[in-house]
Structures are given as C-alpha cells and as structure tokens.
Amino acid sequence: MTLARHLIAAAGAGVTALALAACSGAPAVELPDLTSLGLSAVDCAETAQMADVVASPPAGSETACWTGAPDDGFVATADAILALLMEDAGEEGTDATSALCWDDALTETEGSACRAVVVGDLTDGTVVSAVIAVTDPASMTADLPDDATEEQVAEAIAGAPIEVLLFSEPASLVDA
C-alpha cells in the first residue's frame, strides 16, 4: 500500500495513527517552501502529530514538516498549500484531492485536511500531497455548540496551531 493510501485509510482513525508504506523511485518534483504561508520548517521528529508518520520514511519518498498558527485556520491553509502545489506543477499538475483525500474533519479528537496533486501522468508522474493536522483539536472545539455555524467554526479554528506533512511519491504506486 502506498503512502497516500495509508494516509487515506488511516484518516478516520486520526492523523496520529497514520503509517508509511514502502515505496520506491525518486520523486520528480520538489516539495514547496511554505514560509510564505507563515509556517516554519521543522524536523518531523519534533512534531506531535506527524512524528510517528515519518519515523522511517520509505526509500524514494520525500517528506517535510511545517508548523504554525495561521490566522485563516487549517482549511484555508490547506487550500493555500494546494494552490502552491498547483502553481509549482504548472500545466502538468492535476488536482487529485477528491480522488486521494478524505473530507476536511473537525471533531474533539481530530482536526485534519488533505490536498493532493498529480504531476504528470499516473504512469510516470508524481503525487505530491499535504496532510494538515490541528495539534489540539479538543481545546479548539471545547466551546463550540453542537449546532455551530460556519462563522463560529471559522472563529474557533483561526490561529489554531497546526502541523503540515508534505510528501511525494511516484504516481504509479498510488492505487486511487
């Protein structure tokens, strides 16, 4: 099972339950720099949500972790990362979020989003993905009513600390 498939399969169990799978081949693209989004690069081992995910990255994969507390919240940050991925991919990029990712989630135990881009084709291309996780979803949702409005949710997630895992793998390994 590929890295993307493991991330998708584990989404319901929470981001911390994610596991990497072995994959081979060298990624054809570089992972983007997220400093323009107000995020800081960190060693994945120093993160709360992503450390176990990338404890031993498979050969041929590329991973990077970022942290921050974006004013617009984790969903808007996920969308901004997707825009960067698409910009970097140029004409060869295809938004594969709906095929490879789960729906954005916010509960008292998990806040996460996923975005994915295929660069090139499914035979010789590369999948570049981002997993965004809220570091403390319980404190973010504690004061939200059960029937929270979109405005209340937006206010609750604004400025919440997040971690971002960027990864790439050969598209031929992704069984969407």
pLDDT in tens, the chain (176 residues): 344 434 443 443 333 333 333 333 433 578 999 999 999 999 988 888 887 776 666 666 789 999 999 999 999 999 999 999 999 999 999 999 999 999 999 999 999 999 999 998 888 888 999 999 999 999 888 889 989 999 998 898 999 999 999 999 887 766 65
pLDDT at 11: 40
What is the sign, positive or negative, of the torsion defined by CA atoms of 92, 95, 99, 104? positive
Q: Where exactly are the structural domains of the chain?
A: 3-173
pLDDT at 169: 85
**What is the distance of C-alpha 147 from the center of its chain?**
27
DSSP characters over 82-141: HHHHHHHHGGGEEE-HHHH-PPPEE-SS-EEEEEEEEES-TTT-EEEEEEEEES-HHHHH
**Distance of alpha carbon 133 from alpha carbon 50, whole angstroms:** 8
Closest CA to 111 of 63, 81, 77: 77
pLDDT at 61: 78
Pairing of strands 105-106, 93-95: unpaired
The helix (H) or strand (E) run that includes residue 80 is helix 73-89
